[in-house]
Amino acid sequence: MFSRFILLPLFAFYCTVPVISYAQAQPEESNSADASDILFSLEKADDSQQPSSGTLFTASAQLGFLYLTGNTRSADIKTGLDLRFERGLWRSFFVFDLLVKKTEIENEMSTNKENKNFETTDQKWSISSQTNYTLDAARQNYIYGSVFYEENRFSGFDSQASISTGWGRRWFESKEASFDADIGPGFKRDVTQVTPEEMADGKTSQTQDTFILQAQALYIRHINEHIEFKQLFVVKHAIEVGQNSIYKAESSITSKLIDSLQLKVNFIIDYNSKVDDDKANLNTETSVVLIYSF
């Protein structure tokens, strides 16, 4: 399963080095639009910062950690890696995210009140990659290809993967704000999760394949030279009636602490239209992480 949906993005990654970063960069002239950052950033590098080859490569890593003691003991970790590559008319990114949460839970089978164990109560990881090719001299229109893969242990799905290609455009750009959007057909595969009890009864996981219409939109506002606001919307609408559709909204505020260190507050809403009866359609995630650019 993993290899089918990741082979293509990895091939694109090694051929064009798809990347994205939270690294800060200076904007170009207002009449020059950069379509590379449809998912994460519309900031662009100043020509003076680019190497003589005209190639820009940046990378950043994020880390958030929380450990609680007392009446409740738990440990949370959120980490990720973001890479970006820009050269000529090509703009690419590769993103990896990981979230793990462990909580102390009392063993109900034991009469000893002190018998408590740490159990994983949340665990998910995902990768996404997109490559854009600019179509015009004004750098407003582009075509894209994107892939996504996620494993979420407590979502009701063993894995969710999608691939899409289509057309995008920078619809608005000024010194303070910009708005990009793209749309195109795609294909999505969801693999349902089976509990140990269901496996004992002979039930197996099911693969649900469907064609989708994918749409993405990103608005960025530079509040000042140190603070940036981003609003991202992603829709993966299943064409076939009765299949699962995915809707996602992500809001973030990033504050620059020093040249290479930033603080990011992030809020994510994930909605799956079709899930098991014991699972929630809507999931939210709030995080505060440090981002180091290198």
Sign for the CA dihedral angle at 287, 9, 217, 25 comes to positive
> Above 50 in pLDDT, residue 118?
yes
Distance between CA atoms of residues 263 and 286, nearest Å? 14
> Above 60 in pLDDT, residue 11?
no
Sign for the CA dihedral angle at 167, 97, 293, 53 comes to negative
Q: Tell me the pLDDT tens digit for each residue of 185-205.
A: 999 999 988 877 777 777 778
pLDDT above 70 covers a percentage of the chain that reads 77
Q: Tell me the pLDDT tens digit for each residue of 215-264.
A: 999 999 999 989 999 999 999 999 999 899 999 999 999 999 998 999 99
Mean pLDDT over 50-61 rounds to: 72
Q: Tell me the pLDDT tens digit for each residue of 138-162.
A: 778 999 999 999 998 888 889 999 9
- Residue 102 in tokens: 């462990």
> Above 60 in pLDDT, residue 8?
no
Lowest mean pLDDT of 34-43, 97-106, 168-177, name the range: 34-43
Query: Phi first, then psi: what are they for 3, rounded to 5°?
Result: -65, -35
Lowest mean pLDDT of 57-61, 195-199, 209-213, 278-282, name the range: 195-199
What pLDDT, on the 0 to 100 scale, is given for residue 112? 54
Options 3.90.550.10, 2.40.160.40, 3.40.710.10, 3.20.20.410; which CATH number does 2-293 get? 2.40.160.40
Cβ-proximal residues to 269 (8 Å cutoff; 6+ apart), any chain: 248, 249, 250, 282, 283, 284
Burial (Cβ within 10 Å: 0-12, 13-18, ≥19) of residue 204: exposed
Q: Which pLDDT band, with edges at 50, 70 and 90, does 42 fall under?
A: very low
Distance between CA atoms of residues 266 and 252, nearest Å? 4
Per-domain residue ranges for the chain?
Answer: 2-293
What pLDDT, on the 0 to 100 scale, is given for residue 19? 33
Three-state SS at 135: coil
For the chain, strand residue ranges (E) read 55-68, 74-87, 90-106, 116-134, 141-152, 157-173, 177-192, 207-222, 227-238, 246-258, 261-272, 282-293
- Answer yes or no: are the C-beta atoms of 62 and 40 closer than 8 Å: no
| HSE-up of residue 71 (Cα within 13 Å, Cβ side) | 0
Q: Which pLDDT band, with edges at 50, 70 and 90, does 165 fall under?
A: very high
